[in-house]
Amino acid sequence: GESVGLHLPTLSVQEGDNSIINCAYSNSASDYFIWYKQESGKGPQFIIDIRSNMDKRQGQRVTVLLNKTVKHLSLQIAATQPGDSAVYFCAERWKAGTALIFGKGTTLSVSS
Amino acid sequence: EAQVTQNPRYLITVTGKKLTVTCSQNMNHEYMSWYRQDPGLGLRQIYYSMNVEVTDKGDVPEGYKVSRKEKRNFPLILESPSPNQTSLYFCASKQYGGNTGELFFGEGSRLTVL
């Protein structure tokens, strides 16, 4: 089946920089997308979500952008902090009531 | 505190010795699911349950069983574990339906099969 993928397995940034984590999805019918953060030794934690009828959504220091034309999802983290170091997963839902399909993850490393 | 609790968190076992990983959630969620996480493969769904007594296969169900006799519990059973089931396992739950798909994850159970 179709799956969500990520452009880069790792991303290294300096503290205070803005980070952009990218994700490409292949199912143009997907109606819902989520970003998760997974810290070492922990389960994934919800960061932010976006529906397919939106192209941008902002949270606290995070913004998710959805470009349905090229089937691309991105997570922007403003003023990245060492505590942001983690693996970030995007996930898509093909339609309401179906399971989330996860990408393989991008490891974000933030150096001081 | 709303949470998904898995036990055990760490387990080393031998091939063929039946084991059960328990999962319990206190959020009254209808939907529960098991995932395994392997390097380079991300999170893959093993089984899921829409509600009590309703279970279905995910992407990688071979070698696993589940049951959903109560709403809060969703144990994962490995009848005859094999080394290829060495992995990090996550249980997750969410409200079924509604406008969001947010899954709440447990802390994970790291299983090693020798």
Average confidence (pLDDT) over A49-58: 96
- pLDDT of res. B101: 67
Q: How far apart are CA B30 and CA B86, in angstroms?
A: 28
In angstroms, the separation between the Cα of residue A87 and the nearest Cα of chain B is 10
Average confidence (pLDDT) over B55-65: 95
Would you call B106 an interface residue with chain A, using a CB distance cutoff of 8 Å?
A: yes
DSSP letters spanning A32-75: EEEEEEE-TTS--EEEEEEETT-SEEE-SSEEEEEETTTTEEEE
Do the chains contact at B96 and A97, CB–CB below 8 Å?
yes
Q: How far apart are CA B54 and CA B48, in angstroms?
A: 9
Least confident of A66-80, A87-101, B22-36, B69-83: A87-101
Residue of B nearest to A9 (CA): B40
Q: How far apart are CA B64 and CA B42, in angstroms?
A: 19
- A105 contacts on B by Cβ (under 8 Å): 42
- H or E, element range at A83: none
- A42 contacts on B by Cβ (under 8 Å): 107-108
Average confidence (pLDDT) over B51-60: 93
Beta bridge partners of B90: B35
Q: How far apart are CA A102 and CA A89, in angstroms?
A: 7
In angstroms, the separation between the Cα of residue B82 and the nearest Cα of chain A is 23
Least confident of A3-12, B34-43, B73-82: A3-12
Q: How far apart are CA A61 and CA A10, in angstroms?
A: 20
Do the chains contact at B42 and A102, CB–CB below 8 Å?
yes
- A32 contacts on B by Cβ (under 8 Å): 100-101
Do the chains contact at A42 and B108, CB–CB below 8 Å?
yes
Q: Please give the mean pLDDT across all residues of chain B.
A: 93
- pLDDT of res. B99: 53
pLDDT digits (tens, 9 = 90+) for B7-40: 999 999 999 999 999 999 999 999 999 999 998 8
Do the chains contact at A49 and B102, CB–CB below 8 Å?
yes
Average confidence (pLDDT) over A99-104: 84
Which pair of tokens denotes residue A26? Answer: 């292949």
- pLDDT of res. A98: 72
- B41 contacts on A by Cβ (under 8 Å): 104
- A48 contacts on B by Cβ (under 8 Å): none
- B97 contacts on A by Cβ (under 8 Å): 96-97
- pLDDT of res. B28: 94
Q: Using 50, 70 and 90 to split pLDDT, how confident is the model at A3? A: very low
B48 closest CB neighbour out of A43, A99, A104:
A99
pLDDT digits (tens, 9 = 90+) for A71-85: 999 999 999 999 999
The answer to whether A96 and B97 are in contact (CB under 8 A) is yes
